[in-house]
Amino acid sequence: MKTKISFIVDSLGFGGAEISAITTCNESVKNGYIVDLVVLRSLGVLEKKLSPNVKVINFNKDKVRKTIFLLIKYFNNHGPNIVISYLDHVNIITIIAKLFCFKKINLISTVHSPFEYGDYLYYSKIKKYFLLSLQKFLLPISNKIAPVSEGTKISIENLLSQKYHYKVNKIYNPIEAVCTRKKNIKNSNIDTYRFIYVGRLVEDKGVITLLNAIQKLSTKIKVELFIFGDGPQKKILIDKSKKLSIARLIKFPGNKLELNDIYNGSDCLLLNSKYESFGRVIIEALAYNCHVISSNCPVGPNELLDSGKFGDLFECDDFERLINLMYDAAINKSIAKKVSQNELNKHLQKFEPSKILESFLVN
């Protein structure tokens, strides 16, 4: 009898955890597993990326907490061999459902951000204390706890009693681009160096600083910046580019499902985040042989770039260092070849979907 794996997600809107779930779903089907994708709230554009052999079960509730009884019923009726849940609030609901269902559930809870960062920065003290206490009590009920980075792993171990540390196993997010990448067809305008930003357009991503950097560089060399993504800061960024008189150099293509539409023609990825739980776009960019310049923020970029071996790091708020790195990248285009292709390929292999699936399934 084939093994059945159920993946539990909040929704299928654009997000790193959701992309990870879909990539692992598709890899599981490719390896002969029966796969259910249980969506607690709503479907979204990422549904288009799913293999047709993945069965989608949509609870379609407006609040995740309203899905507890539906999830218990699903576990009892469908009896998956392995359950993998994504994001903290989904983990909590899934663990509670595991506690109250009649079937034995082998649950892997993936944790995508340290408890010191992300949404936890903006919670009230009471809410943060309550949620951390809940995590401390519920997470150990999982059969395996899978942080996506070393920094997140340390954060979990600091929260949990040492007797549960054996359950904590770092498992990177799978990166489809590592296997499906095509040759990066560089920018046809060879006189203009193309920087890109890929991600949510929110204040914590520091995209306004990237506009200021482009404005300063544009007085010396020909550059452009493509900003892929969407979010509440989009209008602010458009207005800022006009105020800086660089609107002609800034493009806003929005969200793109196909990675080729993002990375083909691009020279260098820029990240100026205050924190990153992982930094998927760093590995995607490397897979397309794009140079990477990133803030050395907690917790992902330093690990993914191997302390600067595979790209350039600058300390948060060090604007002059950012400018200098961008200038050097644009002037010395060969800077992207800091390591051999063999070294880069070996590094990228850590993020292959087949290896990530294997890590989930090993006891």
What pLDDT is stored for residue 182 in this prediction? 60
What pLDDT is stored for residue 189 in this prediction? 58
SS3 per residue for the chain: CCCEEEEEEEECCCCHHHHHHHHHHHHHHHCCCEEEEEEEEECCHHHHHCCCCCEEEECCCCCHHHHHHHHHHHHHHHCCCEEEEECHHHHHHHHHHHHHCCCCCEEEEEECCCCCCHHHHCCCHHHHHHHHHHHHHHHHHCCEEEECCHHHHHHHHHHCCHHHHHHECCCCCCCCHHHHCCCCCCCCCCCCEEEEEECCCCHHHCHHHHHHHHHHHCCCCCEEEEEECCCCCHHHHHHHHHHCCCHHHEEEEECCCCCHHHHCCCCEEEECCCCECCCHHHHHHHHCCCEEEEECCCECHHHHCCCCCCCEEECCCCHHHHHHHHHHHHHCHHHHCCCCHHHHHHHHHHHCHHHHHHHHHCC
**Domain spanning 178-348, CATH class:** alpha beta
Alpha-carbon gap, residue 191 to 181, rounded angstroms: 25
Give me the CATH topology for the region 4-171: Rossmann fold (3.40.50)
What pLDDT is stored for residue 179 in this prediction? 85
CB neighbours of residue 215 within 10 Å? 19
| CB-side neighbour CA atoms (13 Å) of 228 | 23
Alpha-carbon gap, residue 265 to 187, rounded angstroms: 4
**Which residues of the chain, if any, have pLDDT below 70?**
181-190, 334-337
pTM of the entire predicted model:
0.94
CATH topology identical between 4-171 and 178-348: yes
Placement of tokens 């006189």 in the chain: 191
Compute the C-alpha angle 227/326/209, nearest 5°. 50
On the 0-12 / 13-18 / 19+ scale of CB atoms within 10 A, 101 is middle
Name the region of 259 (left: φ>0; alpha: ψ -120 to 50; beta: rest). alpha
Residue spans per domain, the chain: 4-171, 178-348
